[in-house]
Structure 1
Amino acid sequence: MTEEQDGRTQHQHGPVLQRRAQIKAGTTDQRLLDSRGPSDWVHTDPWRVLRIQSEFVEGFGLLAELPAAVSVFGSARTPVDHPEYAAGVALGGALARAGFAVITGGGPGAMEAVNRGASEAGGVSVGLGIELPFEQSLNDWVDLGINFRYFFARKTMFVKYAQAFVIMPGGFGTLDEMFEALTLVQTQKVTRFPVILYGTQYWSGLISWLKDSVLPGGKIKDADLNLIHLTEDVDEAVALIVDAEQSRSEQSQVERALAVEGPRVQAHDGQ
């Protein structure tokens, strides 16, 4: 609709208001049906919104029926013959035997090791891949997988469908995922959510820096350091996750009971 209002021409383009030089000729239907112009429009931001939406829909649909799950991060560059690879296989197997699905980035190295351990133990082995400039496909041990274009959509799936994070030795990507997890727990976006750093020697320098520089500088509190669990033992890591899951289940039962009891008490008091 084009009209004169206060001496100005305006056009209502769906929910968008356009005026003066911002008005485009024609209608949406006309541009759809009456043109076979360049395909650049599929790369514009409004179209990307639909792609982003589709990634969330696909991810939610794929993962909604997972059992309790643990997201495990680690380096794609971990060699198959490295002790960290063997630890990843052991961790994936132990989590599967404890009844947890495992979710990794689906790549090689430490991610492959965890997927392999879970798959060999008969568990649910999930891989959430990402489109990268260099070729990287989902590893052969992923039994349920999806590839994402957008990191932020992928990160949402790691958090939404997991009850814990285990961070194995890794580089920038692993550090990014670790600090995002810690930030979400610190700000109570997720609760009762253990973040476990596996590899005492590898992570000890980072922990020391947090204690000796970040904490004294007033950038974090003592309680924030308690969000991090450092271990070198697969059984200890799994036990922490099991305990947290039991605590979460008990708390949920209490919250549900209070939600039911509250209206009953109010109704009784009103009599």
Structure 2
Amino acid sequence: MTSIFQDCNLQLPESPRQRPPFQCYLTGFPETFLAINRRPKKIKMSKLATPSLTATIESLRNTERIIQKPDTRATHPNPSFSHSDFPQHGNDILLVIPTANKDKTRILTEAFERQKPPGATVHVLVLPADSNVGEQPYDEAGAEGARNRIQNALQSLNESVLVEREIGTIMAASIENFIQRPSEGTDVKPVDYGLVMVYNATTRRAVTAMSRGVTVPRAYYEFARSFGAERGHDGMYGRVTVGEVLEANVEGVDRADWHAVVAGVSRYELLEDAVEGISVPC
């Protein structure tokens, strides 16, 4: 297995300390942080149910297909971030994960822990942050949302954590699913992809990777689109997710992992594959 740290030249202590790594979930934010993460009200689930889309879970099972991952170098150039330099207070690694999704947190934490260099200590700080791209990102809003989560989380990072845990390297990792819209007037189906972004805030380098995609049931996609998007963003910041529409109309479908029903592969399995193939920026 290729290590996600394969190209890193980290400064490690000569002998590992006995102090164990920590994992912390932060749920409270200062007012300034809440201001940049304010979201519009969600549409009630009752408004998402419609007789024309009511179906059984069996009628949708394995009706869609898996699409090979695109080349992120062509579709999603490396992002830029704006933040102050973080002083180094030791040799340990801090992994900031800006999501409340426990499955995404597990995938990222396990990947870093499994592939860390010998002698390295990775501390995990789960700091939920908004994507600022609406409920359902489309096209370039996927990469923008992943970048925004990292940016927002880093802005709220308290240096006392770095001092206490003797942090020398700060990494932030974000996962954002988005739908690639088809061109108008074509028979091409919309496709849901997962984008993984890892940012080294110490060296200011970032990398991205894509998961394989899952084609989206057209009727549910169009209904989600009918609820509109936030203004000024070319329709890329959708107000309703396809998963919400599916869950509201098909009993037994999980809004966060409808992929497992329509394509026979869990969204999280696809994301795990994408994370395994990424190299940490050093």
TM over 0.5: no
> How high is the TM-score relative to the length of structure 1?
0.22
Task: Name the larger-Rg structure.
Answer: 1
More helix by share: 1
Name the structure, 1 or 2, with higher relative contact order (CA <8 Å, separation 6+): 2
> How high is the TM-score relative to the length of structure 2?
0.22
